[in-house]
Structure 1
Amino acid sequence: MNAIEIPFQGETLCALASGALLWRARDLLIVSDLHLGKSERIARRRGTMLPPYETRATLERLEADLAATGANGVLCLGDSFDDLDAATGLEPQDRAHLVSLIEGRAWHWVEGNHDPGPAGLPGVHHAELVMGPLTFRHIAEPGAQGELSGHYHPKLGLPGCGEARACLLFDATRMILPAYGAYTGGMPATAPELRALIGSPGFAVLTGSKPLLVPYPARAGAGRGRRRF
């Protein structure tokens, strides 16, 4: 399993190539911004048709991470669905696939700005969640300690590395996870909103076939990508 171990607030978290985090001490896989049902939501609201495969691709990625890690718990850091109607509008086979992943696991849904209420699926819904020294919420709060969040979909490009890649950003006090779902855009990691949240020294872990740890902020070439929430 490709992973980078990160000491954080007295715990060890493993950053996976997919953008997920593994907290071995709690047997917990942490993901953010799955945005399940995005193509259905776009078709419903805009009349624009996209290939309806992003939910399947995201669930297959999640299933692979669960198989590789053996995690018995999952924590979704908000915007798990593109909106609450998307949660009820999943294709029957996608809903069945998701329920099969939830069954037998401790599953936590943290609310996001796209899905502010329970989605009518198994698992426990939280506005935010505290476990030991760590606080899990969707949107980072200034001054927080031991915080893990999502929302911003950070992406980072480096010279010679091709397209910008989704990335985890972190410093000694907080982590901001990348979007885990397919069809999700991103915010350049060098954007002022993210620079204001990540202190020095800061680091980024780029996703891909193999996770890549780099200092943050990076030099020229960073941040190609568009912000889409």
Structure 2
Amino acid sequence: MSEVAEAQGHAFTLSGATLVARGTGALYWPAQSLLCVSDLHLGKSERLARRGGSALPPYETQDTLQRLEEEISALSPKVVICLGDSFDDAAAADALDEPALLWLQRLQAGRKWVWIEGNHDPGPVGLGGTHLAELTESPLTFRHIAEAGGSGEISGHYHPKAAIARTGGRARPCFLIDAARVIMPAFGTYTGGLRSQHAALSPLMEPRAIAVLTGPVARAIPMPR
């Protein structure tokens, strides 16, 4: 396993595959040289402005792409999977400015890039790469929303968050992991989330599920319920 990946994440096994939940919110599969990120929500500030919503500083696309570039530079993956809701809506993908378009092209160069469809966007079909509803790379399946009875499943959608209760700490984006699945945190800037105690999440995860909190150190705790 890559020393960089191991030092900056929590290693675990899912369906026989050794994976690393990184403190950045990205998931790395060393054996396949595969990097997965979920829920980039690029263009959120543009969508809110377009629809007359709350104003946000218009830098979230640049910040998200910068952090994604840092992950790619650190790990040099052969495959990158964007696990749905890569854009805040389809119009946000069309509104991407030229510097951001060129940035994405640089990140895609020389590697396989897969856009998984999300509920916010159908996959940015004009931005290169492969566009799929879901992807199976045995023994794992990558899809946007977890399915009941899923096994070896990597998904996103819910933007899970958790905190260490005894310290009164601020809730942080987290991975939820059990023997059957991983629900990934949102990688994008300005993405909210659901506490792991939420009724939408608890039924999906087995009793012994853990939460891996993101941050400078990826910290694994029993999943708060």
TM-score band w.r.t. shorter chain: over 0.9
Deviations 1:146-185 (A, max 9, x none): 1110000000011326210000001000110000000000
Shift >3 Å, 4+ stretches:
none
Is 1:101 the counterpart of 2:107 in the alignment? Answer: yes
Q: Structure 1: which 5+ residue stretches go unaligned?
A: 219-229
Is 1:210 the counterpart of 2:202 in the alignment? Answer: no
SS in 1 for 2:49: helix
With normalisation by structure 2, the TM-score equals: 0.94
Match of 1:25 among 20, 26, 31: 31
Deviations 1:68-94 (A, max 9, x none): 112121001100000111111012211
* Equivalences for residues 146-161 of structure 1 within 5 A: 146-158=152-164, 159-160=166-167
Counting matched residue pairs gives 218
User: What amino acid does structure 1 have at the position aligned with 2:180?
Assistant: T
Alpha-carbon distance, 1:205 to partner: 0.4
C-alpha distance in structure 1 between counterparts of 2:19 and 2:140, whole Å: 11
Match of 2:9 among 3, 19, 24: 3
Match of 2:170 among 142, 160, 163: 163
Is 1:88 the counterpart of 2:94 in the alignment? Answer: yes
C-alpha RMSD of the superposition: 1.2
C-alpha distance in structure 2 between counterparts of 1:161 and 1:69, whole Å: 33
SS in 1 for 2:200: helix
Match of 2:78 in 1: 72
CA contact (8 A) 2:84 2:123 kept: no
- After superposing the two structures, state which structure 1 stretch, 127-136 or 41-50, moved more: 41-50
Is 1:63 the counterpart of 2:69 in the alignment? Answer: yes
Percent identity reads 53
Q: Structure 2: which 5+ residue stretches go unaligned?
A: none
C-alpha distance in structure 2 between counterparts of 1:117 and 1:55, whole Å: 16
SS in 2 for 1:196: helix
CA contact (8 A) 2:43 2:87 kept: yes
CA contact (8 A) 2:43 2:93 kept: yes
With normalisation by structure 1, the TM-score equals: 0.92
Alpha-carbon distance, 1:119 to partner: 3.2
